[in-house]
Structure 1
Amino acid sequence: MEQDNSPEPKNNNKWLLLIALVLLLVGINGFLFYMNRQKTQQNEQLQSEVQVKDTKLEEQIKQYEALKADFERQSQEVQGMGLANDSLEAKLAQINADLLKLRSFKAGSFSIAEQRRFKQRAANFENQLRKKDEEIAQLKADNEALYTETTTLKERQNKLTDTISTVVRSNQELSEKVSIASRLQAENIRVGVVNSRNKEKDDDDNEFKAKRVEKVKVTFNLARNDVSPKETKQIMMRLIEPDGAALYNLSTGGGTFTIDGSEAFYTAKQDIVYDNTRQPVQFVYAKGAPYKTGLHTVELYEGGVMIGKTTFTLK
């Protein structure tokens, strides 16, 4: 008996097609999965690179900000020492320009080349910063040394000034002592009168009749003084009337001189060559008019200092 196998090939073909379709779908899915996987990995790598670039950019910005702060510090230190800081201002301008450029980069756009360029510039700035710090440190050390030296010199100068002042003061004191010690003194002062007949009269009580007085005669000795130099001395006599006014007449040798900074009148004067021998000196004064009655005073001066004084009375 014969068998009919014609439907079997058709069924086999259907199964083959189905299997092929399934395999095709599996292959397509596998390829799509692979491509998607590759794309994901690429995106992850790209994102990682962007993150790395952004991190480098942030680090570079921070480095430049630190450099800016250090250069500003240096500028203030140099300015505080009174020195010009033009070069530091120029460097600060460069750093600010670089910072502005760095902050203008968009995310992921900080290329390797830019990273290298800014890194190298930052390294140069750090090198300049370090050298400037060394220079500032040396300047500070020099200033401190100069300040110490100046302070020492001022202290020495002050001590020297004090010493000089002490010497000057001592010399002034010594000069004053010598001046005082060298002052002349009039001793044995006596007053007499001369009448119109040129007769002299002395009185131990120094009392005379006014109507008989034509001239007044004052005699004394210059006391010994080994300190006073032997030289010409100018002796002034003041004859003071009872009302307190000194007799004064230019025609009879009167004039003015200074006593303790004030101007005073003198009645007569003489230039005496002092020889330290108790030499005698005399003044004879003619008023040329009647004398007032009352107590009269005779004052003797040398160098503006009183060297003797006495009184007499006219009745």
Structure 2
Amino acid sequence: MSANTPENRSNRKLLIGGLLVVLISINGILIYMNYQKKEKTEEQAEIINVKNSELENQIKIYEALKADFERQSQELQSMGLENDSLETKIAAITADLDELRGFRKRSYSLADQRRFRDRATAFEQQLKEKDAQIASLKQDNEVLFTENTDLKTTQTRLADSLTTMQSTNEVLNEKVRMASRLEAKNLNVNIINQRGKEKEDDDNEYRAKRVDKLRVDFKLAKNDVAKKEPKTVYMRLIEPDGAALYNLTTGSGTFQIDGEDMYYTAKRDFVYDNTQQPLSFTYDKNAAYKKGQHTVELYADGFLIGKTTFVLK
């Protein structure tokens, strides 16, 4: 019986057709599976991209928060204030930033995303509250600065006024001081010889060898400005060589004129009473007097109040 019968040929065609159908189906399934796999891979890649974008965005948010809290800290420091809570927040944000940057090398889960979003929201709220406090402090500082400026201006004006008053008072005091200056009138020098006799020469010329003591007489002129009080008058007896006679044993000493020490020959204390009271000095040198012109100067209250000369021949 021949194998290549019409029936066999027909069966072969059916088998080949079935195989083709199976192959086409398998190929279709493979194509679909590959599509599904590609689609899943693309979806996973998109998820990864979204996570990475979310992570980088969160890092930027935290960097901005850190910069704002540091700004607040600097603003408070510029006002002379310190806030430890700000330093604590900056340290916490820095730690969060370090953790967020670490997710670049490991999985950044949805739970992590929610956790950092919530913390960022809380930090943002704290940032707004602190900005409001700083704005209020700045406004208060501006008010205080204005008040302080006004106070300083007032103080400066008062100081200027006080300086002007002090200067005016100093001028007035100096005028009063000058006006209260005493004046020695009728200043006269007489000699007393060894026998105790006093001699006056109209020309104020005496023989040196006859002089034992000198007597200086004068009167104080009236002065209604000068205070009636205890005062001291100093006499300087200046010899021809320009030196003032000075002997501690006879009561000599020093006094000040214009801030400088000056030697005096003798002094006398008295109470000024504005009655043109007469005063006098009797001076014993206890040594021979030099020949030549001598000068007598009288001082009181820091002023030269009288001066005269006489000659010993």
What range describes the TM-score normalised by the shorter chain of this pair? Answer: 0.7 to 0.9
Match in the other structure for 1:36: 34
- Do 1:184 and 1:225's aligned partners in 2 also have CA atoms closer than 8 Å? yes
SS at match of 1:264: strand
Match in the other structure for 1:196: 194
TM superposition shift of 1:234: 1.5
Q: Distance in 1 between matches of 2:131 and 2:165?
A: 50
Match in the other structure for 1:17: 15
- Do 1:231 and 1:274's aligned partners in 2 also have CA atoms closer than 8 Å? yes
SS at match of 1:104: helix
CA deviation string 1:142-177 (max 9, x = no partner):
333333332322222222222212212221221111
Q: Distance in 2 between matches of 1:217 and 1:180?
A: 29
- Do 1:51 and 1:108's aligned partners in 2 also have CA atoms closer than 8 Å? no
- Is the counterpart of residue 102 in structure 1 residue 119 in structure 2? no
Q: Where in structure 2 are there 5+ consecutive unaligned residues?
A: none
Q: 2:125 aligns with which of 124, 127, 142?
A: 127
- Matching residue's letter, 2:229: E
CA deviation string 1:232-280 (max 9, x = no partner):
2222222222222333344444333333333333333222222212122
Q: 1:288 aligns with which of 270, 286, 289?
A: 286
Match in the other structure for 1:298: 296
Match in the other structure for 2:147: 149
SS at match of 1:132: helix
Matches within 5 A, 1:1-315: 9-105=7-103, 109-315=107-313
- Do 1:53 and 1:108's aligned partners in 2 also have CA atoms closer than 8 Å? no
Across the aligned residues of Structure 1 and Structure 2, the Cα RMSD in angstroms comes to: 2.6
- Do 1:61 and 1:102's aligned partners in 2 also have CA atoms closer than 8 Å? yes
- Matching residue's letter, 1:231: E
TM-score normalised to structure 1 length: 0.86
Distance 1:250 1:96, change over 3 A: closer
Task: Point out the more displaced range, 246-255 or 177-186.
Answer: 246-255
- Do 1:54 and 1:107's aligned partners in 2 also have CA atoms closer than 8 Å? no
Q: Distance in 2 between matches of 1:111 and 1:190?
A: 120
Task: Point out the more displaced range, 155-164 or 27-36.
Answer: 27-36
- Matching residue's letter, 2:109: S
TM superposition shift of 1:11: 4.5
Distance 1:147 1:222, change over 3 A: same
- Number of residue equivalences: 310
Q: Distance in 1 between matches of 2:82 and 2:227?
A: 66
Distance 1:19 1:215, change over 3 A: closer
- Percent of aligned pairs sharing the same letter: 58
- Do 1:50 and 1:108's aligned partners in 2 also have CA atoms closer than 8 Å? no
TM-score normalised to structure 2 length: 0.87
Q: Distance in 1 between matches of 2:285 and 2:75?
A: 87
TM superposition shift of 1:313: 1.1
Q: Distance in 1 between matches of 2:278 and 2:306?
A: 14
Task: Point out the more displaced range, 40-49 or 120-129.
Answer: 40-49
Distance 1:29 1:305, change over 3 A: same
SS at match of 2:103: coil
- Matching residue's letter, 2:223: N
- Do 1:49 and 1:108's aligned partners in 2 also have CA atoms closer than 8 Å? no
Q: Distance in 1 between matches of 2:266 and 2:26?
A: 150
TM superposition shift of 1:223: 0.4
CA deviation string 1:89-128 (max 9, x = no partner):
3323322322222223358933222221111111112122
Q: Distance in 1 between matches of 2:39 and 2:111?
A: 25
Distance 1:260 1:109, change over 3 A: closer
Q: Distance in 2 between matches of 1:163 and 1:222?
A: 40
- Matching residue's letter, 2:207: K
Q: Distance in 2 between matches of 1:53 and 1:173?
A: 87
- Matching residue's letter, 1:186: A
Q: Where in structure 1 are there 5+ consecutive unaligned residues?
A: 1-6
- Matching residue's letter, 1:132: K
- Do 1:217 and 1:282's aligned partners in 2 also have CA atoms closer than 8 Å? yes
